Structure 1
Amino acid sequence: MGTGRQEQRAALTQGEVLPLDSSRQSEGSYEGRKSARSVVNSLFSGALAGAVAKTAVAPLDRTKIIFQVVVSSARFSAKEAYRLIYRTYLKNGFVSLWRGNSATMVRVIPYAAIQFCAHEQYKGLLGGYYGFQGKVLPPVPRLLAGSMAGTTAAMVTYPLDMVRARMAVTPKEMYSNILHVFVRISREEGLKTLYRGFAPTMLGVIPYAGLSFFTYETLKKSHAERSGRPHPYSYERLAFGACAGLLGQSASYPLDVVRRRMQTAGVTGHTYGTILGTMKEIVSEEGVIRGLYKGLSMNWVKGPIAVGISFTTFDLTQILLKKLHQMGYTAR
Structure 2
Amino acid sequence: MQERHSTVDQLSPQTPLGAKKMSGQGEISNASKVVTSLIAGAVAGGLAKTIIAPLDRTKINFQIKNIPFSFYEAYKFIVISYKESGFTSLWRGNSATMARVLPYAAIQYSSHEQFKRLLSVETNEDKRKHPIRSYVAGSLAGVVSTSLTYPLDLARARMAVTHREKYNSLGAVFRKTIKREGPGAVYKGYLPTILGVIPYAGTSFFTYETLKRLHHEHFGPLDPNPLERLVFGAIAGLFGQSASYPLDIVRRRMQTQQGSMTITGVLKKVLVEEGIIHGLYKGLSLNWIKGPIAVGVSFTTFDLVSKFLRNLSFFTDF
Question: 1:150 is matched with which residue?
Answer: 142
**Residues 143 and 213 in structure 1, CA contact (< 8 A), matched pair in contact too:** yes
Give 1:324 shift: 2.1
**Residues 1-332 of structure 1: pairs in structure 2 closer than 5 A:** 34-72=29-67, 75-127=68-120, 132=124, 138-266=130-258, 271=259, 273-325=261-313
Change (3 A) 1:28 1:223: closer
Count of aligned pairs between the two proteins:
296
- Give the letter for the 1:58 counterpart: A
Change (3 A) 1:318 1:90: same
CA RMSD of aligned residues (A): 2.3
**Residues 58 and 78 in structure 2, CA contact (< 8 A), matched pair in contact too:** yes
**Residues 244 and 304 in structure 1, CA contact (< 8 A), matched pair in contact too:** yes
**Residues 159 and 167 in structure 2, CA contact (< 8 A), matched pair in contact too:** yes
**Residues 28 and 310 in structure 2, CA contact (< 8 A), matched pair in contact too:** no
Change (3 A) 1:65 1:29: closer
Change (3 A) 1:120 1:180: same
Change (3 A) 1:278 1:48: same
Separation in 2, partners of 1:89, 1:294: 23
Separation in 1, partners of 2:316, 2:37: 19
Give 1:138 shift: 2.9
TM-score, normalised relative to structure 1: 0.84
Separation in 1, partners of 2:236, 2:187: 28
Change (3 A) 1:179 1:77: same
Q: Could you say which structure has the higher helix fraction?
A: 1
Q: Provide, for residues 140-185 of structure 1, a one-character-per-residue CA deviation record: whole Å limited to 9, x for no partner.
A: 1010100000011011111110101100111100011000100000
Give 1:325 shift: 2.6
- Give the letter for the 1:206 counterpart: I
Change (3 A) 1:301 1:272: farther
Separation in 1, partners of 2:298, 2:246: 23
**Residues 3 and 29 in structure 2, CA contact (< 8 A), matched pair in contact too:** no
Separation in 2, partners of 1:65, 1:41: 32
Separation in 2, partners of 1:326, 1:193: 43
Separation in 2, partners of 1:281, 1:326: 56
Separation in 1, partners of 2:103, 2:49: 13
Change (3 A) 1:117 1:176: same
Change (3 A) 1:189 1:227: same
3-state SS of the aligned residue for 1:127?
coil
Q: Provide, for residues 250-285 of structure 1, a one-character-per-residue CA deviation record: whole Å limited to 9, x for no partner.
A: 11000000000000112xxxx451101100001111
Separation in 1, partners of 2:147, 2:94: 20
Give 1:80 shift: 1.1
- Which one has a bigger Cα radius of gyration? 1
Separation in 2, partners of 1:319, 1:134: 24
- Larger deviation, residues 209-218 vs 221-230: 221-230
Change (3 A) 1:328 1:217: closer
Provide structure 2 residue ranges, at least 5 long, that are not aligned to the other structure. 7-26
Separation in 2, partners of 1:328, 1:125: 22
3-state SS of the aligned residue for 2:221?
coil
Provide structure 1 residue ranges, at least 5 long, that are not aligned to the other structure. 1-26
% same residue: 55
Give 1:327 shift: 9.9
Separation in 1, partners of 2:285, 2:165: 31
**Residues 142 and 214 in structure 1, CA contact (< 8 A), matched pair in contact too:** yes
